[in-house]
Chain A
Amino acid sequence: MSRRTVRVAAGQGFWGDWLEAPVRQVEGGPIDYLMMDYLAEVTMSIMQKQKSRNPEAGFARDFPQVIERILPTLVAKDIRVTSNAGGVNPRGCAEAVLAAARRKGLGVKVGLVSGDDLLPRLDELLAAGHELRDMDTGRPLADIRDKVLSANAYIGMAPIAEALDLGARIVVTGRVTDTGLTLGPLVHEFGWDHDDWDRIAAGTVAGHIIECGAQASGGNLLRDWRKVRGLADPGFPIAEVSDDGSFVITKHAGTGGIVNVPSVTEQLVYEMGDPTNYITPDGVADFTSIRLAQRGRNQVAVSGITGGPRTPMLKVSIAWFYGYKAVGTLVYSWPDALEKAQAADRILRQRLKDLGLEFEQVLTEYVGVNATHGPLAGEASPDLPEVQLRVGVRAREKAPVERFTREIAPLVLTGPPSVTGFAGGRPQVEEIVAYWPALIDRRAVEPHIKVEILEA
């Protein structure tokens, strides 16, 4: 058994995360891998929308840009990168990375993982009896087939480990799980068997802890939040993993934020379901087996993790066109701010009714009173300095939502007094792309997964 550790550093927790983080991770201290997670449930659908307008789009453009910035350091320090930045166009993303490498005059091997995209095969799969029922409602996908915008299977770490085995410095994928981006390098480095369930679970938990970036190292930390220092330059988390599957969560010296048992625990419970049954394509992890211990300043030791065999099914992320929504806001001031906002809401609703507009839902919230905790916030103070009226509407048709966006500004001169905060102009009509989670037999996906090595 090797005594060395493998250091996997988080560089991005979602598409839109802090752009400086990956730069800090490769320059701020020793790491072996930079792991960049870009994909949330709705991200694939946004990328699909971009690709339908421009076939060369459909991936996180931030990624090749940051690679161009850090590539000299990656090469000099022999750091390798795993990322699902490829979205619905991993090939386009890989080619953009190669173009960036050529501009820098640096040779680089890029691993391209494809095969998660089920959209080109969707009718074939449905015809073969894969119903792709919504895991929450039980409806078969056939009900909305004509509205489907994207369909991607969540695939695991195996193709990432394979691309690294083949010498890739940068591995670009589509819908690989967030945790697979961390587990892949560990399986490649330590040669873990794909059915060594406890180690697979351990690498998965390491991935879960670092996949949301600074959310494990002091960002969004509720406990003692005032005592978290230096968040202007937060240290993103790093997992230092040993061959036995135990690991230490830490961050680079000299960075802000904090790594302690509370910060790691808050991230462990984030988006959790049944803790004994954390399912990924690679295996099932038992979160009730995790042992945490503060080892030193900004060092939390994680051990004891057990897991079980992978399930025969893979989760599928399907995005479909649902309809339209818009949100309008206005701000009312003291005195009687809430009463004025409530009066404005009544007038607005009457006008929408008089215009004969039909909506699936009209939702009113009063920011400063009940927008985050609803009725639990209790009775509002009569002396509130201001209240924001926030009205949202949703419909399957665009026309009523479009008309709604023109009914906010008129309230300024035709409604209750002491109103402001309308300088942003009319609300925007947004297209709603909804999420349809389903399961598919992994045998219908795995033969299509492909690993290629491209070279600049």
Chain B
Amino acid sequence: MPVKKRATSTMPLQLRYLAHARSGDKGDTANVGLIALEPEHYPLLVNEVTVARVARHFRGMVKGVERFELPNLNALNFLLHGALDGGGTISLKTDAQGKVFSTALLRMEVPVPAALARTLLKRPAP
């Protein structure tokens, strides 16, 4: 049987070209707010930045992932449980307060329509 060809070809693109982010802590949980750079890219984030992908991205670094949607802010909020080695004052990590999990998430690659990816790659990433 012939394999059905996908309508558009995609290529992997780092989230830094699609979103900005800020992170913080609550105990041993880090949160990352992921905000679309352009409102029209928010649906792409909703579809591609899934709990499963984020958990795989941070494997060995976190114990669980939860996701919440904020369409009004074109943002997703991720809770990364068990990310801070005990958190607060107990943690020995440089990033005990989870301040740069934001940029760690922006390293993640998601499949993006190739034409869009090529356009975004031409701009300087924020």
A45 to B85, CA, bound (A): 20
User: Do A374 and B61 touch (CB < 8 A)?
Assistant: yes
Taking a contact as CB atoms closer than 8 A, the residue among B31, B60, B71, B87 that contacts A272 in the complex is: B31
A224 to B102, CA, bound (A): 15
Q: Which among A276, A367, A373, A390 has the greatest number of chain B C-beta atoms within 10 A?
A: A373
Taking a contact as CB atoms closer than 8 A, the residue among A268, A271, A287, A322 that contacts B90 in the complex is: A322
- B89 partner residues in chain A, CB cutoff 8 A: 42, 45, 322, 432-435
With A270-B24, A376-B104 given, is the CB distance from A367 to B94 under 8 Å? yes
User: Do A223 and B126 touch (CB < 8 A)?
Assistant: yes
A224 to B85, CA, bound (A): 31
User: Do B102 and A222 touch (CB < 8 A)?
Assistant: yes
Taking a contact as CB atoms closer than 8 A, the residue among B33, B58, B90, B126 that contacts A269 in the complex is: B33
23 contacts between A and B (CB under 8 A): A136-B28, A220-B22, A222-B103, A265-B33, A269-B33, A270-B31, A271-B25, A271-B31, A272-B24, A288-B69, A288-B70, A290-B73, A322-B89, A322-B90, A365-B93, A373-B100, A373-B107, A375-B60, A376-B61, A392-B93, A432-B89, A432-B90, A433-B89
User: Do B88 and A269 touch (CB < 8 A)?
Assistant: no
Cβ of B26 within 8 Å of any chain A Cβ, yes or no, is: yes
Give the interface residue-count category, chain B. 35 or more
Within the complex, what minimum Cβ distance (angstroms) separates A373 from chain B?
5
Apart from A262-B35, A374-B61, A435-B88, 15 more pairs, CB < 8 Å: A222-B102, A222-B126, A225-B126, A268-B73, A269-B35, A269-B70, A270-B33, A288-B69, A288-B70, A363-B93, A372-B103, A373-B107, A374-B60, A394-B92, A435-B87
0 or 1 for each of B35-79: is its CB under 8 Å from A? (1 = yes): 101000000000000000000011011000000111111110101
User: Do B27 and A437 touch (CB < 8 A)?
Assistant: yes
Cβ of A275 within 8 Å of any chain B Cβ, yes or no, is: yes
User: Do A273 and B20 touch (CB < 8 A)?
Assistant: no
Give the A-binding residues of B (Cβ under 8 A).
20-28, 31, 33, 35, 37, 57-58, 60-61, 68-75, 77, 79, 85, 87-90, 92-95, 100, 102-104, 107, 126
With A225-B126, A273-B79 given, is the CB distance from A372 to B88 under 8 Å? no
Cβ of A291 within 8 Å of any chain B Cβ, yes or no, is: yes
- B58 partner residues in chain A, CB cutoff 8 A: 376
Cβ of A142 within 8 Å of any chain B Cβ, yes or no, is: no
A220 to B20, CA, bound (A): 12
- B74 partner residues in chain A, CB cutoff 8 A: 265
**A-B contacts, CB under 8 A, total:** 130
**Main SS class of interface, B:** mixed
User: Do B92 and A393 touch (CB < 8 A)?
Assistant: yes
User: Do A271 and B26 touch (CB < 8 A)?
Assistant: yes
A361 to B33, CA, bound (A): 30
A373 to B62, CA, bound (A): 12
User: Do B88 and A376 touch (CB < 8 A)?
Assistant: no
Give the interface residue-count category, chain A. 35 or more
- A390 partner residues in chain B, CB cutoff 8 A: 94
Within the complex, what minimum Cβ distance (angstroms) separates B77 from chain A?
5
Cβ of A371 within 8 Å of any chain B Cβ, yes or no, is: yes
A42 to B90, CA, bound (A): 11
Cβ of A292 within 8 Å of any chain B Cβ, yes or no, is: yes
Q: Looking across the interface, which residue of chain B has its beta carbon closest to that of A374?
A: B61
User: Do B92 and A434 touch (CB < 8 A)?
Assistant: no
Cβ of A405 within 8 Å of any chain B Cβ, yes or no, is: no
Q: Which of A270-299 contact B (CB under 8 A)?
A: 270-276, 287-292
A437 to B27, CA, bound (A): 9
User: Do A434 and B88 touch (CB < 8 A)?
Assistant: yes
User: Do B100 and A372 touch (CB < 8 A)?
Assistant: yes
A292 to B72, CA, bound (A): 8
A276 to B93, CA, bound (A): 31
Taking a contact as CB atoms closer than 8 A, the residue among A41, A273, A392 that contacts B88 in the complex is: A41
Within the complex, what minimum Cβ distance (angstroms) separates B23 from chain A?
8
Q: Which among B87, B94, B95 has the greatest number of chain A C-beta atoms within 10 A?
A: B94
Cβ of A452 within 8 Å of any chain B Cβ, yes or no, is: no
A365 to B58, CA, bound (A): 17
A270 to B95, CA, bound (A): 15
Cβ of A8 within 8 Å of any chain B Cβ, yes or no, is: no
Cβ of A325 within 8 Å of any chain B Cβ, yes or no, is: yes
Within the complex, what minimum Cβ distance (angstroms) separates B2 from chain A?
39
Q: Looking across the interface, which residue of chain B has its beta carbon closest to that of A223?
A: B20
User: Do A224 and B88 touch (CB < 8 A)?
Assistant: no
Cβ of A266 within 8 Å of any chain B Cβ, yes or no, is: yes
Cβ of A327 within 8 Å of any chain B Cβ, yes or no, is: yes
- B107 partner residues in chain A, CB cutoff 8 A: 373, 376
- A432 partner residues in chain B, CB cutoff 8 A: 89-90
- B27 partner residues in chain A, CB cutoff 8 A: 136, 435, 437
A371 to B92, CA, bound (A): 11
User: Do B20 and A266 touch (CB < 8 A)?
Assistant: yes
A225 to B126, CA, bound (A): 7
User: Do A275 and B68 touch (CB < 8 A)?
Assistant: yes
With A269-B75, A273-B31, A375-B60 given, is the CB distance from A287 to B92 under 8 Å? no
Taking a contact as CB atoms closer than 8 A, the residue among B24, B26, B70, B102 that contacts A275 in the complex is: B70
